[in-house]
Chain A
């Protein structure tokens, strides 16, 4: 039972264009969501998060959108840069439950010069 799903294993984008990474969830109890970026041989690094009371959160080139009715969130990267090439994981959690996170399978983003 995969509560958080990233259905695209990989995505290739041209430098300067927009990258859109998608994530779906099934558990309506989730009330916050996060995106992580992971380079090979390193631990995941936190990128951006959003609470379920919001529908958008922006931080520089990164914007996360949340559609609660569709149980869907997306990460937009504009403009994409070659250094953004990495695996991106979405994750979801419930407040006051020990900080436990459920992760998606990851999407490998390749940004081509």
Chain B
């Protein structure tokens, strides 16, 4: 157990509404990541953080923003949700070279 929780675990929202997903870690790790998992694509990096207030884009960052005001929390925001953002979202923290993942959030945008 890498001490990572995600909330909510499930969410259904309507197109055009803002949505924020939360990742919380208890391990004091510097690096945190947000991925989305879709059939046929594996996991794709959305954004990552290398410290408080330090973030950078991943390969599928359009339509997403992140914030990290405390070491333990990494927030992912969809400013205006679209149906293409229906997915399962995973947060991860960095170990040595491996990453440890949270349980995921299933987001459905109707």
Residues of A at the B interface (CB closer than 8 Å) are 4, 6, 32, 34, 36, 41-46, 49, 89, 91, 93, 95, 98-106
Query: How many Å lie between the Cα of A44 and that of B95 in the bound state?
Result: 14
B56, A32: Cβ atoms under 8 Å? no
Question: Which residue of the partner chain, among A34, A49, A98, contacts B48 with CB atoms under 8 Å?
Answer: A98
Contacts of A103 in B (CB 8 A): 35, 42-44
A101, B100: Cβ atoms under 8 Å? no
Contacts of B31 in A (CB 8 A): 98-99
A46, B99: Cβ atoms under 8 Å? yes
Asked, given contacts A98-B50, A103-B44, A104-B42, whether A46 binds B56 with beta carbons under 8 Å apart, the answer is no
Contacts of B4 in A (CB 8 A): 43
Query: How many Å lie between the Cα of A25 and that of B60 in the bound state?
Result: 19
What are 20 A-B interface contacts by the 8 Å CB criterion?
A32-B97, A42-B104, A43-B90, A43-B102, A43-B104, A44-B43, A45-B101, A46-B95, A49-B98, A89-B42, A91-B43, A98-B31, A99-B33, A99-B48, A100-B45, A100-B58, A101-B45, A102-B45, A103-B44, A106-B42
A24 to chain B, nearest CB (A): 13
Query: How many Å lie between the Cα of A105 and that of B43 in the bound state?
Result: 7
Query: Most chain-A CB neighbours within 10 Å: which of B40, B97, B103, B104?
Result: B97
B101, A44: Cβ atoms under 8 Å? yes
Question: Which residue of the partner chain, among A42, A101, A105, contacts B103 with CB atoms under 8 Å?
Answer: A42
Contacts of B101 in A (CB 8 A): 36, 43-45
The 0/1 profile, CB within 8 Å of A marked 1, for residues 89-110 of chain B is: 0101011011111111000000
B97, A95: Cβ atoms under 8 Å? yes
Asked, given contacts A42-B104, A43-B104, A44-B90, whether A101 binds B56 with beta carbons under 8 Å apart, the answer is no
B45 to chain A, nearest CB (A): 6
